[in-house]
Chains A and B, each alone.
Chain A
């Protein structure tokens, strides 16, 4: 028996080895904590969580070469001079200022990509939600349609004739451009259709999300610019949309203008639609780095040295009266200003406010040598703008000890704009409209400046500029008032075609059915 037992033992052992050996190479693991279509998107909370992907796309709004640059640096309120070795960047900042952009410039390309990435995120989520065939998803699909319409509103504003793509799975691989008027109709139709579907709540549950007030605001923007987009003005419709927001009584003017731009501005009574940026979890807002100088690291104890770039134009700075609370007071030789303003200007100080900042390696043509002093004056656009030239952006509160990414929320839409849009629409219908004048003077009163006695195109546009500096409205405003192609500092107009940006060259190269905008 024993002589048979040993081979049997070996056989059993070998068999067992073979039986369990696959475990050595099978690295598949049953996962219970992962998100899949089968185990997610089942409850309202999970749907809201999934919805977040559409909103995180918005973080690119304030990217250095994104929509923010397209709206601001192409306008008369912001410039990025070439300061010796800094901000040359192949000349695209100078071209953006002078309206000489090319089809390959980064702002042209990145803004397009940012906006279509947002459209795509909405399309993908709409597709996934529709697949679920769950009635719980209806309001979220409405919300996504409205958000997609907002992305298309921006695309239409900047590029005009863009393809309308609403399908994720079956999108035409080589779509043609849609005419700007078609995009207008699409945006209007989507916003109108989604209005009853989205939440009517104006509270923490819809903060930073599309609700009915955001949809009304997008409609107001659409109608205010309708003449630019389609050739037919829609002033009365703009007024109706503004009235829907005003009469909701959800919002009011903040007594202090800067409450809208504080670090904790999420509580502002003006915030209709905001991007809830966060230094750690939702980065992308870093104007502190773009605008301030290296030396201002000491002014705010910043974690990193700023890049010494963006500043306002001298004429724009001077468009504020000295008593305008939005302008603030400049620093002096005695210390930093105690009156906050939209600008950081004058002698620069350290965080204690006691140490005057100096640049030992000051430029040979520096007007006051080593002491570091921001001036409104810009000596030249390129290549050797002074390092200290130009009033810097200080509208948003800078955190002492702050990171390169800021935690202030960015107001895409705020209530003051509702009042000023309504005023403009009323004025367009009747230049002597008393309500329009009253609305503008309400805003001016908060800024501590005297009433206008009448509204004109010039004073209305200038007031919008002062109020909405750095809020990404300026280019559209200049176009609507017909002065985007006017001359300003170091810029003359190459022609009206620049009122639309070109479709990026890479897009035209990849899709033969896309037609470039006229003039490019």
Chain B
């Protein structure tokens, strides 16, 4: 009986230990589930824009900011352009939200240094991403997890899940860093519909 107990305890621990060896995706899913289970909503984005904002309000708000010269149209007229003052070098961000049922559900943002050129090594995306992370921490608080980039190009990505809000920061190319902010509740609802 005692031998049986010993084996049982050992196998249980072994099982628990192996089940503990999760993939990064599983680890992320656990974290996402925990954050969603907390019931905390974090909808704030930037410039007075928020997840769940109606697109009509978004347009009206942007129109007012445009009239004040705070924002302009982006490079392809499909994004909003906003100059960044907080970085060591002049930089810009461009954004335009995704929506569902007329409400903002996600906000992809592109960052780049205005003076980027192939020769400006201080203005490449591997430097920019560090400043973007600092800005994101200033806006949304600390707690970004670094995710290793297995490819030979670019730099690591960063992730934070904060209640319903997921923020991903990653390298796009030598000049651009992208931030994707997603309302996980809206995203999950949308995926269930599919």
* A interface, CB within 8 angstroms of B: 5, 9, 12-13, 16-17, 20-21, 23-24, 26-29, 31, 34-37, 60, 63-66, 85, 89-90, 106, 109-110, 113, 116-117, 119-121, 123-124, 128, 163, 165, 168, 171-175, 284, 286, 289-290, 307, 404, 504, 506-507, 509-511
Partner of A509, one of B22, B75, B81, B115: B115
| B10 lies within 8 A of A16 (CB) | yes
A66–B76 Cα distance when bound, in Å, is 8
Residues of A within 8 A of B89 (CB): 510
Residues of A within 8 A of B173 (CB): 117, 121
| B77 lies within 8 A of A290 (CB) | yes
Interface size on B, residues (CB 8 A): 44
A119–B117 Cα distance when bound, in Å, is 10
| A16 lies within 8 A of B13 (CB) | yes
| A35 lies within 8 A of B151 (CB) | yes
| A89 lies within 8 A of B78 (CB) | no
A26–B2 Cα distance when bound, in Å, is 33
Partner of B14, one of A16, A37, A106, A110: A16
Nearest CB on B from A102, distance (A)? 14
Partner of B117, one of A12, A29, A289, A511: A511
Nearest CB on B from A403, distance (A)? 11
| B27 lies within 8 A of A27 (CB) | yes
A106–B18 Cα distance when bound, in Å, is 55
Given contacts A113-B116, A120-B175, A404-B78, could you give 6 more A-B pairs where the C-beta distance is less than 8 Å? A23-B17, A64-B76, A117-B174, A117-B175, A120-B118, A121-B173
* B interface, CB within 8 angstroms of A: 2, 6, 9-10, 13-14, 17-18, 20-24, 27, 63, 69, 72-73, 75-78, 81, 89-90, 112, 114-123, 148, 150-153, 173-175
Nearest CB on A from B66, distance (A)? 8
Residues of A within 8 A of B119 (CB): 163, 165, 171-175, 511
| B114 lies within 8 A of A29 (CB) | no
A selection of 19 A-B contacts at a CB cut-off of 8 Å is: A16-B13, A35-B152, A63-B75, A64-B73, A65-B73, A65-B75, A65-B76, A106-B73, A113-B116, A124-B153, A168-B118, A171-B118, A171-B119, A171-B121, A175-B119, A286-B77, A404-B78, A506-B90, A506-B115
Q: Contacts A24-B17, A60-B75, A63-B75 known; A509 to B151 CB distance under 8 Å?
A: no
User: Which A residue's beta carbon lies closest to that of B91?
Assistant: A506
A24–B77 Cα distance when bound, in Å, is 48
| A124 lies within 8 A of B14 (CB) | no
Nearest CB on B from A120, distance (A)? 4
Residues of B within 8 A of A175 (CB): 119
